[in-house]
Structure 1
Amino acid sequence: MELYIFGVVFSLIIMFALLGVILFFWFKKRSKENELSKKGKMTEMMINEKLSLWANINDALYIPSSMYKYGKNKIFEVDGILLTTRALICIEVKNINAKRIYGTGNEKEWVKEVGTNKYMIKSPIMQNNKHIDHIVQMTDIKLPTVSLIIFDSISCKEVNINNVPGHVVVIRSNEINQTLEGIMTALIPKISKNEIEKMFEKLKEHQTNDKKDKELLLSFTKEYNEKTFTI
């Protein structure tokens, strides 16, 4: 009888110990995910401030991270849209801890170096191209479009992407002002400030914060594996 009780007690101790280990790693994982999410949002906020300031100084209009809906349940989310008389610039922000990120512009995956280790990450170019396609369909805009991919310069030390498509610019966040100045110098005005304001209002009309729309967008991203990644 004593041996039986000992066996039961011992089994319970092992079971609770295993449960404790599982809970420990689960909470650790959740804590890391929450920390990364918080850091990503802070990065977006800082970059949004830079872009908003540039827009105010340069007679442009900027819409920070927003979700849009048009047509029959067509929903997408963009980190930022900058409207100028020369181009519509679609912003995609990435907060990725890495010593270096490198790859080729027309490839689906790039390489992330962390210390001596290398990992494959999804190229944000195709992701942002889809955002641009949505914007064009939603607004029927008659303006050159630029895909601006911005990596946080604090967490990512170096970015080297070759053979980048002509409409794409890949930079770190400490290069925002000179990059935008370069884009403005390379392009000529296509529309008036009044037309920009109309386009701005049209985009704002399609913004949505509806809970059901958020759930629908999440279901789409899971189905097609297009959820914005942060590593």
Structure 2
Amino acid sequence: MPNKNDKNKRDYFKVQNAGGKVKNADCSVDGYTNSLNSHASHTSPRRIKGKAVTKKATLTDSVAGFVNEVITNVNSKNEPIKWAKIQQLQTGLKGKDSSLTVIIIGLSRGYQIYLMENGDFEEVISIRNALLKDGLLLPFKVDGVDSLSSYRPIFASIFEECSSDGNILNFTSLNTGETFRKDKFDSHIAEIDFSSSCFLVLLAETIIIYNNNDLIERLRVKVPKNCPIFALSGNLLAFADENVGILS
């Protein structure tokens, strides 16, 4: 049964269609609509009930159950799973330390996003006809003045499109369903990442660092061509430097 906190969580994922119903969403690139509803699944969100929590229960246990009950049902010959990503995000919805586990599943012709809270997994987005190369749900809460608070939570995404060559980064509001920004780069995007201090885009020869609170570019770092080696934690960035041959 839904608990009394579900409304607070879903307020972060409201996407309204003409009928005013909450629907799942779809990010967009050139050739696709900015509305997340156009390719979204219009069935009721799936909810997977977790097993009783014990003192020894861990995130690994919960994810293992999720794999057995959800991913194995989704992964088929018609639509195999290409990749999956797990994030742990502080939300502040029910207190300073409240958090959600986010699972993003890249499918052969779309993607799904699940949230886990108290051991229960809930599907919040199910998209078809939009092949996702990579995606991240950006922080719910950031330090400093949040210039993008009305858009959060924000889903950063890269789609595999012939027209874009994987060089367009989309920022989509899961609160409104609008893709409010697209950044186009000269080369393909190898990876995206973030920490508590910044958001990072890795290109073939450059690491671009943005502020979390406004997504304004802060710094560019030159890296060896076709050598995307880096690690990001808090305000520390380690990367390969061909000039000295060590991590900086």
Q: Report the TM-score when normalising by structure 2.
A: 0.26
| More contact order relative to length (CA 8 Å, sep ≥ 6) | 1
More strand by share: 2
